[in-house]
Amino acid sequence: MSDDRSSNGQSWLSKLTQAFAHEPRNRQELLEILHEAHQNELLDSEALTIVEGAIQVADLQVRDIMVPRSQMVTVRADQTPREFLPTIIEEAHSRYPVIGESLDDIVGILLAKDLLPLLLRGADEACACELRGLLRPATFVPESKRLNVLLREFRSTHNHMAIVIDEYGGVAGLVTIEDVLEQIVGDIEDEHDVEEDSYIKELPSGDFVIKALMPIEDFNKHFDSQLPVNEFDTLGGLVAHAFGHLPKRNETVEVGDFRFRVLNADSRRIHLLRLSPQRH
C-alpha cells in the first residue's frame, strides 16, 4: 500500500515537473495544476490559499478593497487630544487620517503610538496646535492602482496606510497594508481577535466583538435576547440579511436591541462583528 502511494507520489511529482517544464499556457492551467497538487496531498489547504491569493491579487485594484470615504474614521486637525481621544480608544486603530476643512483636505496621518508623550503629560494640557507636530506625511494612490504594485510600494516606503484618490482628485477612501495582505493570506489577527475556543470577547467600553459563526441560539442565551432562529443558524447570516447585501468593513446595522458593525468580511461572508447594545 505504501509502495503504491510512493509510486503515485513519484509519478505525480514527475507530472508536476513536466507540466512546469513546458510552462502552463495560461493562469487557469496553472491554478488547475495547483489544485491537482492539493488533491494529491502535495500542497496543503493553507499553502494553496496563499498561492491562489498571490496569483489573484494582481487582478485586483485598490478600489476593490479600500475602506470607502463614508466609512473612514478621521481626526480633525483643530481638535484637542481631549476631544479626539475617545474616538481613538473606541475604534482601536493604529493610524488615523487627519483632516483640515473637509475629508478632501488630508493634512497627515496620526499614529496612535505618537500620542503617548501627550498622554503622559496629560491630555488636558495639550492643545490642538501640538497635533500637527505629530503627523506623518500622507501617501496618496489612485483607485486604479493594482494591489501587487501597491504592496511593493508599501514594502519599499515602509508605509502602512495610503489615501485613495478618485479621478477628480477627491478622497475616495483609504487602504492599508493589512487590507492587501489579507487578500493573500486571509484574515490577520489584531486587537479585535476572539479566542479560538470562544465566540465572544468583551471590550472595556462595554461593547463586544463576536464571531459571525456564532449560533443565534447561543447568542440569545448569552444576551438573554430573542433574535429569530427560524431562517438562519448563525449570527452572520442574520446580520447579512438585515443589511440586504454583503456588507463591507465598518458598515453598521441595527437588529432588535443591538447595533452591529462589521469588523471583518470578504466577498463571500462576514467574519467578525462588533456589537453595541442600544442604550435605553
pLDDT band at 209 (very low <50, low <70, confident <90, very high): confident
| Amino acid identity for residue 3 in this structure | D
Whether domain 63-185 has CATH 3.10.580.10: yes
Q: Specify the fold of 200-277.
A: 3.30.465
Q: At what angle do helices 45-56 and 27-39 cross, to 10 degrees?
A: 170
Percentage of the chain lying above the pLDDT 70 cut: 80
Residues of the chain with CATH 3.30.465.10: 200-277
Q: Got the DSSP string for 120-174?
A: HH-GGG--THHHHTTPBPPPEEETT-BHHHHHHHHHHHT--EEEEE-TTS-EEEE
Q: Please state the φ and ψ torsions of residue 246, each to the nearest 5 degrees.
A: -80, 110
Average pLDDT of span 140-163: 93
User: Could you tell me the pTM of the whole model?
Assistant: 0.59
How far is 275 from 277, CA to CA, in rounded Å? 6
